[in-house]
Amino acid sequence: MFTIITGSQFGDEGKGKIVDLMSGDYDLVVRFQGGNNAGHTVKVGEDVYKLHLIPSGFLLDSRVLIGPGTVVDPEVLAEEMDMLAEGGIELSPEKMGVDAKTSIIMPYHIELDVMREAKRTEKIGTTGRGIGFAYIDKVARDEIRMADLTSKDKLLQRLSELAPSKEAAIRELDGNPGIVMDEQLIDKYVKLGERLAPYITDVSYEVNKALDDGKSVLAEGAQGTHLDVIHGTQKFVTSSCTIAGSACANIGVGPTKVDSVLGIVKAYITRVGEGPMPTELFDDAGKQIQTVGGEVGTTTGRSRRCGWFDLPLLKKAIYLNGYTSIALTKLDVLSNLDPIKVCVSYELGGEVLDYPPEDAADLAACKPVYEDLPGWENDLTAVKSFDDLPQAAKDYVLYLEDKMGVPVDYISVGPAREQTFRK
């Protein structure tokens, strides 16, 4: 069985939580794109894990893999491994693997990301983790790969070939070109390479072999559909393909192997960083959602922008991902809001649109058209089944399910693993 999970909105839909929950049924859990711009929170009992790179399936019995389409900051990976080890979770090479072809985020990628963003008059609001510049180098065939880190000679040879152009790029942005060939940094990366060497694997082979042997694989997306580098709200996007088809291309597994695609959908919408968001709220309802939902970025600590559910954007996400079912998260956060609004279409230049326009500036100019639904006052965080939801909450779920045309499989009413039930 091969299942792909992706975020349907602008990220932070609760992918980590749902992956943790589902991982019990999967032999392999694979991150296929992005890097430590992601922040996935998993809560089990009193333990809270905030992860940026290690796939969220590490707690149960699955083997977790970091695929060749990701970009890896080896220092962050090592820190996450140490953090888990402190809590008694040792990730041995039997438990975790990293593909040999994974692109490494080098210190100069981070420097370039931060300097470039500082120089932009119209900001993107990147996470400053070097993601975009690491992907530029992958496509330009100038990347350092995981396998290059395992020997100082290999790394030095590769770096000396790349150094002139990297130093020039940093100089042009008024950064510090000295970091490209800094001896201490190189030694640090060689040590990280030595530590990670036993984890190096061929993810595509492992996934295909597992599927051939009748095992099950879960692909864990990062970011969200509308942050996709091709189909998102350019230029306010991340630098990888975040949609479901990307899992096949990035892992190296044929689309004929996919059995199901689960979309993670927040009961409202949030966005971190810049870019259009037609239903963004600037009123008390927005503040309430922000506070009750704890909508603060896991990676950068920025407040997430909050808005009402946006059906046109969700319809596009359903087209782009081909969702076979949906997990609706954070329903509990909408308690004590009345009415609850749902954006069913946009008005743009005198026209009514029920599908987002292609251009980000047009999307930014769209005025949401809302339908009002009755709210509920009850606290939902202890609810254990669909039948036990208050009628207005049931109606909200059924309304969204009808409008989306995709079955809601899971409903989540709190951050903990236990606060999820099948519809």
Chain positions contacting ligand GDP, by CB under 6 A: 7, 11-17, 39-41, 43, 293-294, 298, 329-330, 332-333, 412-415
Minimum distance, C-beta of residue 39 to ligand IMO, in the bound complex (Å): 4
Using an 8 Å Cβ cutoff, are 286 and 280 in contact? yes
Cis peptide upstream of residue 339 (ω within 30 degrees of 0):
yes
Residue type, 395: D
Select from 21, 30, 219, 227 the one that contacts ligand IMO (CB under 6 A). Answer: 227
H or E segment and range at residue 156: helix 152-172
Residue 17 binding target from ligand IMO, ligand GDP, Mg ion, none, CB below 5 to 8 Å by type: ligand GDP
Q: Determine the Cα–Cα distance for residues 63 and 30; give it in Å rounded to an integer.
A: 9
Select from 93, 125, 245, 390 the one that contacts ligand IMO (CB under 6 A). Answer: 125
Select from 4, 5, 8, 11 the one that contacts ligand IMO (CB under 6 A). Answer: 11
Q: Determine the Cα–Cα distance for residues 313 and 239; give it in Å rounded to an integer.
A: 20
Torsion sign (Cα): 283, 286, 291, 292: positive
Catalytic residue among 20, 40, 52, 113: 40
Residue with tokens 């089990």: 44
Residue 272 binding target from ligand IMO, Mg ion, ligand GDP, none, CB below 5 to 8 Å by type: ligand IMO
Q: Within 13 Å of residue 280, how many CA atoms lie on the same side as its CB?
A: 17
H or E segment and range at residue 85: helix 74-86
Q: Determine the Cα–Cα distance for residues 265 and 294; give it in Å rounded to an integer.
A: 16
Residue 227 binding target from Mg ion, ligand IMO, ligand GDP, none, CB below 5 to 8 Å by type: ligand IMO
Minimum distance, C-beta of residue 265 to ligand IMO, in the bound complex (Å): 13
Q: Known catalytic residue: 52?
A: no
- What is the distance of C-alpha 270 from the center of its chain? 13
> Given the complex with Mg ion, which of 145 and 271 has the nearer CB atom?
271
Q: Determine the Cα–Cα distance for residues 25 and 61; give it in Å rounded to an integer.
A: 9
Q: Determine the Cα–Cα distance for residues 26 and 7; give it in Å rounded to an integer.
A: 19
According to DSSP, residue 68 is labeled T
Minimum distance, C-beta of residue 185 to ligand IMO, in the bound complex (Å): 21
Contacts (CB under 5 A) with Mg ion, residues 22-51: 39
Select from 70, 127, 225, 279 the one that contacts ligand IMO (CB under 6 A). Answer: 127
Q: Give the DSSP per-residue string, 1-28.
A: -EEEEEESSSS-SSHHHHHHHHHTT-SE
Q: Known catalytic residue: 359?
A: no
Residue 413 binding target from Mg ion, ligand GDP, ligand IMO, none, CB below 5 to 8 Å by type: ligand GDP
Residue 238 binding target from Mg ion, ligand GDP, ligand IMO, none, CB below 5 to 8 Å by type: ligand IMO
Minimum distance, C-beta of residue 35 to ligand IMO, in the bound complex (Å): 8
Give residues in contact with ligand IMO (CB under 6 A): 7, 10-12, 37-40, 124-127, 129, 131-132, 222-224, 227, 238-239, 272-273, 298
Residues designated as active site: 12, 40
